Chain A
Amino acid sequence: MINAEEGVFFLTGKDFTNAGAASSSLKGVLEKRGVPQDIIRRTAIAAFEAEMNVIIYAVAGMMKYRISNTEISVTIQDMGQGIPNIDLAMTEGYSTAPDYIREMGFGSGMGLPNIKKSTDHFVINSMVGEGTTLEFTIRLANGDKERA
């Protein structure tokens, strides 16, 4: 039995130099805890996509995580433009990213679907003009999602 642990990383909009750092740190925490590789990979996918959304679309945000013996839960909250239509945003291929973002290989409209596919539970709440909060959970008890 290992104790639950939690932490927070701060994210800055448009800071592409450090993009992915929070997700890497979270991955490091999971590795140190001896979490199975496939669960680490799924968490890394979801965390990275959520982190990039903050970098690309928001002014600032934070990634909070909590790891218990049964699950990893992550909340990414941002101060940003918000999402007017979440169903549309969840549609694979739909993106509002500007051209320079797309040229970097981001903004392909696969981020939110990737998060959904990689996690056991995923909710997204958004207020236009205020920001977006995204929460996902990955179960540790049984790795029953095959996608790594």
Chain B
Amino acid sequence: MNLQEIVNRLSLEVKTPGLDLTREVTGGYVSDLLSDVMGNSSGGNIWITLQIHLNIVAVASLKGLAGIILVNNRRPDEDTLKRAVAENIPVMTSALPTFELVGRLYALGLRCR
């Protein structure tokens, strides 16, 4: 499944205009601890978090993640979005809380892998 399909199916709001969303999403990882994501996510995963500061972009970029979804309508910092565009990391937001969002991603077939 690619990122654009996930955006469409879950009505995510894309906050980083102009980035390619056709990238394949290999699975998902949920954590608000950056070292947990560094250590345990896999390349190509979509990352679900409530962290909005710009260091999340470095983590996603270093791990080669497919993108970041911010839950609960959390608004990313301006700096975060600028950095995300520069580093080619799509950032999306959802009005759903983490539990609901992850449940829907799972129902779409995404797994932790």
Taking beta carbons and an 8 Å cutoff, which residues of A are in contact with B? Answer: 16-17, 19-21, 23-24, 27, 37, 41, 44-45, 48-49, 52, 104-106, 108, 110-111, 113-114, 117-118, 147-148
In the bound complex, do residue A48 and residue B33 qualify as a contact, i.e. CB atoms below 8 Å apart? no
Q: Which residues of A contact B61 (CB under 8 A)?
A: 20, 24
Total interface residues in chain B, CB < 8 Å: 24
Chain B residue nearest in CB terms to A47: B62
B62 and A105 form a contact (CB under 8 A): no
Interfacial chain B residues near A49, Cβ < 8 Å: 35, 38
Q: Identify the closest chain B residue to A26 (Cβ).
A: B62
What chain B residues lie within 8 Å of A27 (beta carbons)?
A: 62
A-side interface mostly: helix
With A110-B33, A110-B35 as given contacts, are A104 and B62 in contact (CB-CB < 8 Å)? no
5 additional A-B pairs beyond A17-B54, A44-B63, A104-B51, beta carbons within 8 Å, are: A19-B55, A52-B34, A104-B55, A105-B34, A118-B39
Count of inter-chain pairs, beta carbons less than 8 A: 71
Main secondary structure of the interface of B (DSSP, over half): helix
Q: Decide: A23 near B33, CB < 8 A? Known: A41-B43, A41-B64, A48-B38.
A: no
Closest to A51 in B: B58
Question: Can you offer 18 A-B residue contacts whose CB atoms are under 8 A?
Answer: A16-B53, A16-B54, A17-B54, A19-B55, A20-B59, A23-B58, A45-B38, A48-B58, A52-B34, A105-B34, A105-B49, A105-B56, A106-B35, A108-B35, A108-B36, A111-B35, A114-B38, A148-B43
Mark contacts of B48-81 with chain A using CB atoms, 8 A cut-off: 1 yes-contact digit, 0 otherwise.
0101011110110111100000000000000100
Please tell me if the beta carbons of A148 and B42 are within 8 angstroms of each other in the complex: yes
A52–B34 Cα distance when bound, in Å, is: 10
A48 contacts which of B31, B59, B64 (Cβ < 8 Å)?
B59
Q: Chain A residues near B39 (CB, 8 Å)? A: 45, 110, 113-114, 117-118, 147
Question: CA A17 – CA B32 in complex, angstroms?
Answer: 19
Chain B positions within 8 Å of A17 at CB level = 54, 79
Cβ-closest 8 pairs across A and B: A20-B58, A110-B35, A44-B62, A108-B33, A114-B39, A105-B34, A105-B51, A45-B38
Instruction: Find out whether the CB atom of B63 lies under 8 angstroms from the CB atom of A105.
Output: no
Nearest residue (CB) in A for B38 is: A45
Look across to chain B and name the residue whose beta carbon is closest to the beta carbon of A46.
B38
- Our pick among A16, A48, A147 for the contact of B62 (Cβ within 8 Å) is A48
